[in-house]
Amino acid sequence: MSVFYSVMPETFKLIVDRKEGISHNGNFESTHANVFACRNSFGAFQILVQGTKHLCLCLNDDPWFSEYPEAQVVYLRHKGQLKPILNQIAIHKGDDEREYADRLMRDLVTTSQPGVPQGVFVRFEIGEDTKPGMYEGQFDLILQHLFDEEKIIGTISYTLEVSSFALPAMKDRSCEMDLWQHHCSISRYAALKHWSDEHFALLEEYVKSLAVMGQTNITIMASQIPWSGQRCFLEPFKANLFQYSMIPVEKTSDGFRYDYSVMDRYIELCFRYGIDRKIEVFGLIGNWNSPEHGYGNFTEMPDAIRIRYKDVDGCYRYMKKAEDIKHYIRSLQDHYVKKGWIDKVRVIADEPWHYDVLRNTIETVREIAPQFKYKAAFYERKFFDAFKDLISDFCIVAHGLPLAFEEWKKTYREDKEHCFTYYVCCNPDLPNMFIRSDLLETRYIFVLAQSLGMSGFLRWNYTIWPSDPRRDIRYPKFQAGDTNMVYPAPDAKPELTLRFMALRRALEDYELLKMLEDKGFNEIREKLISKVVYDPDVSHFYDAEGRTIVTFDQISVATQEDYDNFRMDACTALMK
Does pLDDT of 1 surpass 80? no
Provide the CB-side half-sphere exposure for 10 (13 A, CA): 27
230-254 mean pLDDT? 94
Rounded Cα distance, 424 and 436, in Å: 15
Nearest to 331 by CA among 361, 372, 298: 372
Supply the DSSP string of 156-214, one letter for each residue: EEEEEEEEEEEPPPGGG---EEEEPP-HHHHHHHHT--TTSHHHHHHHHHHHHHHHHHT
487-514 mean pLDDT? 98
Nearest to 248 by CA among 240, 260, 236: 260
282: alpha, beta or left? (left if phi > 0; alpha if psi -120 to 50): beta
Residues 143-155 have pLDDT tens digits of 998 999 999 999 9
Between residues 476 and 71, the one the model is more confident about: 71
Residues 79-110 have pLDDT tens digits of 999 999 999 999 999 999 999 999 999 999 99
Angle at CA 438, nearest 5°, toward 445 and 158? 105
Residues 398-407 have pLDDT tens digits of 999 998 999 9
Nearest to 436 by CA among 17, 6, 1: 17
390-398 mean pLDDT? 97
Residues 158-187 have pLDDT tens digits of 999 999 999 999 999 999 999 999 999 999
Amino acid at 303: D
The pLDDT score that the predictor gives to residue 237 is: 82
SS3 label, residue 392: coil
The pLDDT score that the predictor gives to residue 539 is: 87
pLDDT category of residue 547 using cuts at 50, 70 and 90: confident
461-474 mean pLDDT? 95
CB burial of residue 466 (10 Å; 0-12, 13-18, 19+): buried
Which backbone phi and psi does 10 adopt, to 5 degrees? -65, -25
pLDDT category of residue 546 using cuts at 50, 70 and 90: confident
199-222 mean pLDDT? 98
Does pLDDT of 6 surpass 90? yes
| Residue 118 CB neighbour total at 10 angstroms | 25
pLDDT category of residue 238 using cuts at 50, 70 and 90: confident
The answer to whether the beta carbons of residues 64 and 56 sit under 8 Å apart is yes
The pLDDT score that the predictor gives to residue 26 is: 97
Beta bridge partners of 46: 8, 121
pLDDT category of residue 30 using cuts at 50, 70 and 90: very high
The pLDDT score that the predictor gives to residue 544 is: 80
Cα→Cα distances 410→406, 415, 428, 445, 530, Å: 6, 8, 23, 20, 20
The pLDDT score that the predictor gives to residue 269 is: 98
Does pLDDT of 543 surpass 90? no
Beta bridge partners of 397: 423
Burial profile 128-164: b = 16 or more Cβ within 10 angstroms, e = fewer: eebeeeebebebbbbbbeeeeeeeeebebbbebebbe
Does pLDDT of 270 surpass 90? yes
Rounded Cα distance, 419 and 433, in Å: 23
pLDDT above 70 covers what percent of the chain?
100
List Cβ neighbours of 270 (8 Å cut-off, separation of 6 or more).
Answer: 207, 218, 276
